[in-house]
Chain A
Amino acid sequence: GQNIDQPTEMTATEGAIVQINCTYQTSGFNGLFWYQQHAGEAPTFLSYNVLDGLEEKGRFSSFLSRSKGYSYLLLKELQMKDSASYLCAAMDSNYQLIWGAGTKLIIKP
C-alpha cells in the first residue's frame, strides 16, 4: 500500500533549527512536496524535490533520498510565525498526491 509517515508534533525554540522527517512508500514516484498549513487555513507550497539532494530556499531547505524513501524539511532561524503544521506529500506514478498527516510545529520563545 501507499503510506507517508511523519512525526505528529515537534517543539523548538525561537531562533533555533528544526528538522522534520518524512518517510514514504508509493507506487511509483514523481517527487515529494512540502506544504505549510496554519491552523484553519489552506496549505501553502514550500518545496518540491524529485532528485536526490538538498534544495535551499532562504530559511527553509528540503532534502530527498529516493533510495531510502526519505525526506526532511529543515527550518533555520525559527520565528514565532513558523508555528504551523508541515505536510509532506509524495506524488505516485499516476501523478496523485499521497499526503502525510502533518507535523504540528510549536515554537517557544
Chain B
Amino acid sequence: DGGITQSPKYLFRKEGQNVTLSCEQNLNHDAMYWYRQDPGQGLRLIYYSQIVNDFQKGDIAEGYSVSREKKESFPLTVTSAQKNPTAFYLCASIPDGDVQPQHFGDGTRLSIL
C-alpha cells in the first residue's frame, strides 16, 4: 500500500548529539514537509521541499537540517544546536497540482536522555 513511513517511532537524544529522523513516501508526491508538535500547540513548520534538491526553511528551522536527494526521501536532522528538541515530529506530503490535503506519517517522538 502507498503511504508515508517515518522511523524510528521513538528516539532518544543525548546532549551534544545529532540525530536523524527518516521519512520515506511511495506516493510519488512532489512536496514534503516536516512539522513539530508540542503539547497543546498546533503544528509548526520546520522545513519543506517542493522538488528534489531544493528545500525551504519554515517558521522554526533553527537547529534543524534536511536534504532531498531523492523524491521519496526527506530526512530531518536534529542538531545539537536545537536546545529543546523534545517533541512529536510529523512528516507530510502532498501531490502536485490543485490544493490537496496533506498525508501524514505516523510520527517520531523524540526525547532527551
Contacts and interface: CB of A to CB of B under 8 A. Distances in A.
Nearest to B33: A97
Contacts of A87: 42-43
Interface residues of A, number: 23
Contacts, number: 46
Nearest to B109: A40
B42 A102 contact: yes
Interface residues of B, number: 19
A1 B52 CA distance: 31
A101 B101 contact: no
A31 B98 CA distance: 12
B18 to A, nearest CB: 24
Given A31-B99, A50-B99, A95-B99, A42 B105 contact: yes
Given A8-B40, A41-B107, A42-B107, A96 B45 contact: yes
B106 interface: yes
Interface of B: 35, 40-45, 48, 88, 90, 99, 101-107, 109
Interface of A: 4, 8, 30-31, 33, 40-45, 48, 50, 87, 89, 91, 95-97, 99-102
Given A4-B42, A45-B102, A48-B101, 20 more contacts: A30-B99, A40-B88, A42-B90, A42-B104, A42-B105, A43-B43, A43-B104, A48-B99, A87-B42, A89-B42, A91-B99, A95-B99, A96-B45, A97-B43, A99-B35, A99-B42, A99-B44, A101-B40, A102-B40, A102-B42
